[in-house]
């Protein structure tokens, strides 16, 4: 666990939060992947600018979702919780990020679903890198106690575990799952698919991964023995299945033909 990087540069002492650093790395890597996806699809648009706007929207959404998910924390801290370095909810980030991308795709005349398809691999990889940041910072999104040999203790985390108690390093589980999903979506996106198919697969796979990880995460149950994140995962999975089904019913148009039809 390494919440901060401490740098001593002559008379300047600098503390860099590793979570914030990994979020920056996730944004840069995500922008690179989305730009390469735009190039592969022969789309002339500012992918990097789209990612930048989506990241800002995602941060706002993550904090708002966290406030809704943990009202007791808001009562204790007040509006300061919005500026706290901890407490970023993935589903809030995903919701606001999707809205930002759909709007930008519409403005760029690419289409909302098409933009989300192109952004899906970048989102999965960025999510995976962000989870590594959660692991480094020890922000409390780890799991329940375990006797498995790879269990870890976080006695000095932002939300510490009891000393000598090993827990599931669930951020690493999610990181491995999301990076694998990102690689799968990149491969799938290299062939012609109906619009909405790739983002549908992302919602299905990511939602499924989060749903099962939640069984060993330390999150309160809110309904039917499920956590808030699991309920959101169910919505994600259903939405993904619907998008995949709709994409399968639509004719697939080659990018060159679509561009020619648009020009005509």
Tell whether 2 is covered by a domain.
Answer: no
Burial class (CB in 10 A: 0-12, 13-18, 19+), 236: buried
User: Cβ distance 218 to 229 under 8 Å?
Assistant: no
pLDDT given for residue 221 in this prediction: 80
At 81, list the tokens. Answer: 């919780």
Instruction: Assess whether pLDDT exceeds 80 at residue 58.
Output: yes
Average pLDDT over residues 233-237: 93
Q: Cα angle vertex 53, ends 47, 57, to 5°?
A: 140
Whole-number Å distance between alpha carbons of 159 and 229: 19
pLDDT given for residue 200 in this prediction: 94
Residue 55 sits in which domain range? 18-263
Whole-number Å distance between alpha carbons of 154 and 169: 10
User: Cβ distance 207 to 234 under 8 Å?
Assistant: yes
136 pLDDT band, cuts 50/70/90, is confident
Tell whether 10 is covered by a domain.
Answer: no
Q: What is the pLDDT of residues 169-212, one digit of tens each?
A: 899 999 999 999 999 999 998 888 888 899 999 999 999 999 99
Whole-number Å distance between alpha carbons of 32 and 38: 10
User: Cβ distance 222 to 230 under 8 Å?
Assistant: no
Largest CA distance in the chain: 69
* Domain total of the chain: 1
74 pLDDT band, cuts 50/70/90, is low
Q: What is the pLDDT of residues 219-232, one digit of tens each?
A: 778 788 888 888 88
First-to-last C-alpha distance (Å) of the chain: 57
Average pLDDT over residues 45-55: 89
Reported for 155-163, long-range contacts at CB under 8 A and 24+ positions apart, including other chains, are 156/1, 157/1, 157/3, 158/3, 158/85, 158/86, 159/86
Tell whether 11 is covered by a domain.
Answer: no
pLDDT given for residue 72 in this prediction: 61
At residue 226, the 3 state secondary structure works out as strand
Whole-number Å distance between alpha carbons of 135 and 31: 23
Tell whether 112 is covered by a domain.
Answer: yes
Tell whether 1 is covered by a domain.
Answer: no
Instruction: Assess whether pLDDT exceeds 50 at residue 81.
Output: yes
Strand ranges, E, within 56-134: none
Instruction: Assess whether pLDDT exceeds 80 at residue 67.
Output: no
Tell whether 78 is covered by a domain.
Answer: yes
In eight-state DSSP terms, residue 8 is E
Is this prediction's pTM over 0.85? no
Tell whether 3 is covered by a domain.
Answer: no
Percent of the chain residues topping a pLDDT of 70: 79
Average pLDDT over residues 137-155: 82
Tell whether 12 is covered by a domain.
Answer: no
Whole-number Å distance between alpha carbons of 264 and 209: 44
Q: Of 214, 213, 240, which Cα lies nearest the Cα of 225?
A: 214
């Amino acid at each position: 666990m390494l919440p901060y990087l401490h740098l001593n540069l002559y008379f300047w002492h600098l503390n860099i939060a590793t979570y914030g650093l990994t979020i920056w790395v996730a944004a840069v890597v995500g922008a690179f992947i989305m730009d390469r996806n735009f190039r592969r699809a022969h789309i002339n648009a500012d992918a990097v600018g789209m990612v930048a706007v989506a990241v800002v929207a995602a941060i706002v959404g993550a904090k708002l979702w966290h406030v809704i998910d943990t009202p007791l924390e808001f009562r204790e801290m007040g509006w300061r919780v919005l500026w706290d370095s901890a407490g970023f909810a993935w589903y809030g980030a995903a919701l606001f990020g999707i809205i930002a991308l759909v709007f930008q795709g519409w403005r760029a005349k690419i289409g909302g679903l098409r933009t989300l398809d192109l952004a899906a691999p970048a989102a999965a990889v960025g999510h995976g890198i962000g989870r590594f940041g959660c692991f480094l910072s020890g922000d409390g999104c780890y799991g329940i106690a375990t006797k498995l040999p790879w269990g870890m203790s976080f006695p000095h985390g932002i939300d510490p575990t009891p000393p000598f108690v090993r827990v599931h390093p669930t951020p690493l589980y999610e990181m491995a799952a999301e990076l694998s999903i990102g690689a799968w979506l990149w491969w799938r996106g290299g062939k012609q698919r109906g619009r909405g198919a790739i983002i549908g697969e992302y919602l299905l796979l990511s939602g499924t991964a989060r749903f099962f990880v939640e069984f060993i995460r330390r999150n309160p149950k809110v309904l039917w023995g499920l956590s808030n994140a699991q309920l959101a995962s169910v919505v994600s999975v259903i939405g993904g299945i619907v998008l995949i089904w709709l994409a399968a019913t639509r004719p697939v148009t080659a990018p060159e033909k679509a561009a020619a039809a648009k020009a005509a």
